[in-house]
Amino acid sequence: MNQAELALCATGSSSSHLVELQKHRLHVDIVDDFLALQQAAKKVGIELTIASSFRDFQRQSAIWNAKFQGLRPVYTLDQKALDLQSLSDTQKCHAIMLYSALPGASRHHFGTDLDIYDANAINDDYQLQLTPDEYACDGPFAELNDWLDQNLEHYGFYRPYQEYKGGVAPEPWHISHITQSQVMMQYLSLNTLKDRITNSEITGKHAVLENLSSLYERFVTNINQPKRVS
Protein backbone atom coordinates (compact mmCIF):
# COMPACT_ATOMS: atom_id res chain seq x y z
CA MET A 1 0.00 0.00 0.00
CA ASN A 2 1.15 3.54 -0.70
CA GLN A 3 1.20 6.31 1.90
CA ALA A 4 -2.18 7.72 0.87
CA GLU A 5 -3.84 4.32 1.32
CA LEU A 6 -2.11 3.79 4.67
CA ALA A 7 -3.38 7.18 5.86
CA LEU A 8 -6.92 6.09 4.95
CA CYS A 9 -6.41 2.88 6.94
CA ALA A 10 -5.04 4.78 9.95
CA THR A 11 -8.12 7.02 10.12
CA GLY A 12 -10.63 4.21 9.73
CA SER A 13 -11.49 5.20 6.17
CA SER A 14 -10.29 1.97 4.53
CA SER A 15 -10.32 -1.69 5.51
CA SER A 16 -7.80 -2.94 2.96
CA HIS A 17 -5.32 -3.84 5.72
CA LEU A 18 -7.71 -6.24 7.49
CA VAL A 19 -8.57 -9.93 7.49
CA GLU A 20 -11.40 -11.80 9.21
CA LEU A 21 -10.60 -13.81 12.34
CA GLN A 22 -13.08 -15.23 14.84
CA LYS A 23 -15.87 -12.97 13.56
CA HIS A 24 -13.69 -9.88 13.95
CA ARG A 25 -11.47 -7.91 11.60
CA LEU A 26 -7.76 -7.61 12.45
CA HIS A 27 -4.69 -6.17 10.76
CA VAL A 28 -3.31 -8.91 8.55
CA ASP A 29 0.14 -8.67 10.13
CA ILE A 30 -0.94 -9.29 13.74
CA VAL A 31 -2.91 -12.49 13.26
CA ASP A 32 -0.08 -14.96 13.93
CA ASP A 33 1.01 -13.13 17.10
CA PHE A 34 -2.55 -12.90 18.37
CA LEU A 35 -3.16 -16.61 17.84
CA ALA A 36 0.07 -17.39 19.70
CA LEU A 37 -1.07 -15.16 22.59
CA GLN A 38 -4.46 -16.81 22.61
CA GLN A 39 -2.96 -20.32 22.60
CA ALA A 40 -0.60 -19.48 25.47
CA ALA A 41 -3.52 -18.18 27.53
CA LYS A 42 -5.50 -21.34 26.79
CA LYS A 43 -2.76 -23.47 28.32
CA VAL A 44 -3.43 -21.88 31.72
CA GLY A 45 -7.21 -22.07 31.42
CA ILE A 46 -7.90 -18.59 30.05
CA GLU A 47 -10.17 -18.34 27.02
CA LEU A 48 -8.86 -15.06 25.65
CA THR A 49 -11.73 -13.71 23.57
CA ILE A 50 -12.13 -10.64 21.39
CA ALA A 51 -14.88 -8.27 22.46
CA SER A 52 -14.07 -5.57 19.91
CA SER A 53 -11.45 -5.01 17.24
CA PHE A 54 -11.60 -2.82 14.13
CA ARG A 55 -14.06 0.06 14.09
CA ASP A 56 -14.31 2.25 11.03
CA PHE A 57 -14.67 6.02 10.95
CA GLN A 58 -18.45 5.86 10.57
CA ARG A 59 -18.89 3.61 13.60
CA GLN A 60 -16.63 5.79 15.74
CA SER A 61 -18.54 8.85 14.55
CA ALA A 62 -21.83 7.29 15.62
CA ILE A 63 -20.45 6.68 19.13
CA TRP A 64 -19.01 10.20 19.29
CA ASN A 65 -22.15 11.92 18.02
CA ALA A 66 -24.42 10.01 20.40
CA LYS A 67 -22.29 11.00 23.38
CA PHE A 68 -21.91 14.62 22.26
CA GLN A 69 -25.67 14.90 21.82
CA GLY A 70 -26.38 13.36 25.23
CA LEU A 71 -27.88 10.18 23.78
CA ARG A 72 -25.27 7.93 25.41
CA PRO A 73 -23.79 8.40 28.91
CA VAL A 74 -20.40 10.00 29.45
CA TYR A 75 -18.50 9.05 32.60
CA THR A 76 -15.84 10.53 34.83
CA LEU A 77 -12.75 8.63 35.97
CA ASP A 78 -14.67 7.41 39.02
CA GLN A 79 -17.51 6.12 36.82
CA LYS A 80 -20.01 8.87 37.59
CA ALA A 81 -22.28 10.07 34.80
CA LEU A 82 -21.72 13.64 33.62
CA ASP A 83 -24.36 16.21 32.76
CA LEU A 84 -23.01 17.46 29.42
CA GLN A 85 -25.55 20.28 29.22
CA SER A 86 -23.48 22.26 31.70
CA LEU A 87 -20.30 21.96 29.61
CA SER A 88 -18.91 23.96 26.70
CA ASP A 89 -18.26 22.11 23.45
CA THR A 90 -14.54 22.05 24.23
CA GLN A 91 -15.23 20.59 27.68
CA LYS A 92 -17.47 17.99 26.07
CA CYS A 93 -14.58 16.92 23.82
CA HIS A 94 -12.34 16.39 26.86
CA ALA A 95 -15.07 14.52 28.75
CA ILE A 96 -15.89 12.18 25.88
CA MET A 97 -12.26 11.47 24.97
CA LEU A 98 -11.59 10.13 28.45
CA TYR A 99 -13.21 6.88 27.27
CA SER A 100 -14.12 7.29 23.58
CA ALA A 101 -11.69 8.27 20.85
CA LEU A 102 -12.20 11.09 18.41
CA PRO A 103 -13.32 9.68 15.04
CA GLY A 104 -10.25 9.33 12.86
CA ALA A 105 -8.00 8.99 15.90
CA SER A 106 -9.15 5.70 17.39
CA ARG A 107 -6.51 3.02 17.68
CA HIS A 108 -9.29 0.59 16.77
CA HIS A 109 -9.05 2.01 13.23
CA PHE A 110 -5.60 0.43 12.99
CA GLY A 111 -6.82 -3.15 13.26
CA THR A 112 -3.91 -3.68 15.65
CA ASP A 113 -5.86 -2.97 18.83
CA LEU A 114 -8.35 -5.27 20.54
CA ASP A 115 -10.60 -5.28 23.58
CA ILE A 116 -10.35 -8.71 25.22
CA TYR A 117 -11.84 -10.73 28.08
CA ASP A 118 -11.75 -14.27 29.49
CA ALA A 119 -14.84 -16.18 28.37
CA ASN A 120 -14.01 -18.98 30.82
CA ALA A 121 -14.43 -16.62 33.77
CA ILE A 122 -18.09 -15.76 33.15
CA ASN A 123 -21.41 -17.45 32.45
CA ASP A 124 -23.12 -17.31 29.08
CA ASP A 125 -25.69 -14.83 30.41
CA TYR A 126 -23.05 -12.44 31.81
CA GLN A 127 -23.38 -8.91 30.44
CA LEU A 128 -19.87 -7.79 29.54
CA GLN A 129 -19.26 -4.15 30.52
CA LEU A 130 -15.54 -3.60 29.89
CA THR A 131 -15.12 -1.56 33.06
CA PRO A 132 -12.06 -1.35 35.33
CA ASP A 133 -13.77 -3.19 38.20
CA GLU A 134 -14.12 -6.31 36.03
CA TYR A 135 -10.31 -6.50 35.79
CA ALA A 136 -9.62 -5.54 39.42
CA CYS A 137 -8.47 -8.04 42.04
CA ASP A 138 -12.04 -9.05 42.93
CA GLY A 139 -13.39 -8.91 39.38
CA PRO A 140 -14.09 -11.84 37.03
CA PHE A 141 -11.09 -11.02 34.86
CA ALA A 142 -8.51 -10.58 37.62
CA GLU A 143 -6.67 -13.73 36.55
CA LEU A 144 -6.56 -12.53 32.95
CA ASN A 145 -5.31 -9.14 34.07
CA ASP A 146 -2.46 -10.68 36.07
CA TRP A 147 -1.56 -13.07 33.27
CA LEU A 148 -1.40 -10.23 30.76
CA ASP A 149 0.93 -8.30 33.07
CA GLN A 150 3.36 -11.22 32.98
CA ASN A 151 3.01 -12.41 29.39
CA LEU A 152 1.55 -9.85 27.03
CA GLU A 153 4.76 -8.33 25.70
CA HIS A 154 6.35 -11.75 25.15
CA TYR A 155 3.85 -12.18 22.32
CA GLY A 156 4.32 -8.72 20.82
CA PHE A 157 1.45 -6.85 22.51
CA TYR A 158 1.11 -4.22 25.24
CA ARG A 159 -1.54 -2.05 26.89
CA PRO A 160 -1.38 1.59 25.73
CA TYR A 161 -3.91 2.67 28.37
CA GLN A 162 -2.65 0.63 31.31
CA GLU A 163 -2.11 3.69 33.51
CA TYR A 164 -3.76 7.12 33.49
CA LYS A 165 -1.45 9.78 32.05
CA GLY A 166 -3.90 12.67 31.99
CA GLY A 167 -5.54 11.67 28.71
CA VAL A 168 -7.43 8.43 28.14
CA ALA A 169 -8.67 6.61 31.23
CA PRO A 170 -7.12 3.23 32.14
CA GLU A 171 -8.42 0.39 29.95
CA PRO A 172 -6.97 -2.93 31.13
CA TRP A 173 -8.98 -4.75 28.46
CA HIS A 174 -7.35 -2.86 25.56
CA ILE A 175 -4.29 -4.50 23.99
CA SER A 176 -2.22 -3.29 21.06
CA HIS A 177 0.29 -4.97 18.77
CA ILE A 178 3.57 -3.21 19.47
CA THR A 179 5.18 -3.23 16.04
CA GLN A 180 2.19 -2.81 13.76
CA SER A 181 0.48 -0.13 15.87
CA GLN A 182 3.68 1.90 15.69
CA VAL A 183 3.68 1.50 11.92
CA MET A 184 0.06 2.65 11.67
CA MET A 185 0.65 5.57 14.01
CA GLN A 186 3.23 6.94 11.56
CA TYR A 187 0.34 7.64 9.19
CA LEU A 188 -1.91 9.34 11.74
CA SER A 189 -0.33 12.78 11.69
CA LEU A 190 -2.06 15.88 13.00
CA ASN A 191 -2.56 17.11 9.44
CA THR A 192 -4.01 13.79 8.30
CA LEU A 193 -6.46 13.84 11.20
CA LYS A 194 -7.37 17.47 10.54
CA ASP A 195 -8.17 16.73 6.89
CA ARG A 196 -10.33 13.74 7.81
CA ILE A 197 -12.34 15.63 10.42
CA THR A 198 -12.72 18.70 8.20
CA ASN A 199 -14.38 16.49 5.59
CA SER A 200 -16.71 14.84 8.11
CA GLU A 201 -20.00 15.74 9.76
CA ILE A 202 -19.17 14.91 13.37
CA THR A 203 -20.98 16.78 16.11
CA GLY A 204 -18.93 19.56 17.68
CA LYS A 205 -16.60 19.74 14.68
CA HIS A 206 -15.81 23.43 15.18
CA ALA A 207 -14.60 22.85 18.76
CA VAL A 208 -12.65 19.76 17.70
CA LEU A 209 -10.80 21.59 14.93
CA GLU A 210 -10.20 24.65 17.10
CA ASN A 211 -8.53 22.49 19.77
CA LEU A 212 -7.20 19.66 17.61
CA SER A 213 -3.52 20.17 18.37
CA SER A 214 -4.00 19.97 22.15
CA LEU A 215 -6.50 17.11 21.86
CA TYR A 216 -4.05 15.18 19.68
CA GLU A 217 -1.24 15.71 22.18
CA ARG A 218 -3.30 14.85 25.25
CA PHE A 219 -5.44 11.95 24.01
CA VAL A 220 -3.77 10.47 20.90
CA THR A 221 -0.01 10.45 21.43
CA ASN A 222 -0.07 10.58 25.25
CA ILE A 223 -0.08 6.83 25.91
CA ASN A 224 1.85 4.24 27.87
CA GLN A 225 4.79 2.76 25.98
CA PRO A 226 5.84 -0.91 25.85
CA LYS A 227 8.65 -1.86 28.19
CA ARG A 228 10.60 -3.59 25.47
CA VAL A 229 11.72 -2.05 22.19
CA SER A 230 10.07 -3.71 19.21
Q: Within the chain, where are the H helices?
A: 3-10, 31-42, 57-68, 89-97, 142-151, 178-185, 190-198, 205-210, 212-215
Q: How far apart are CA 71 and CA 128, in angstroms?
A: 21
Number of C-alpha atoms within 13 angstroms, CB side, residue 147? 21
Q: Please name the CATH architecture into which domain 3-220 falls.
A: 2-Layer Sandwich (3.30)
Question: What pLDDT shows up at residue 1?
Answer: 83
Q: What is the pLDDT of residues 158-177, one digit of tens each?
A: 999 999 999 999 999 999 99
User: What's the whole-model pTM score?
Assistant: 0.96
- Mean pLDDT (the chain) is 96
Q: Where are the domains of the chain?
A: 3-220
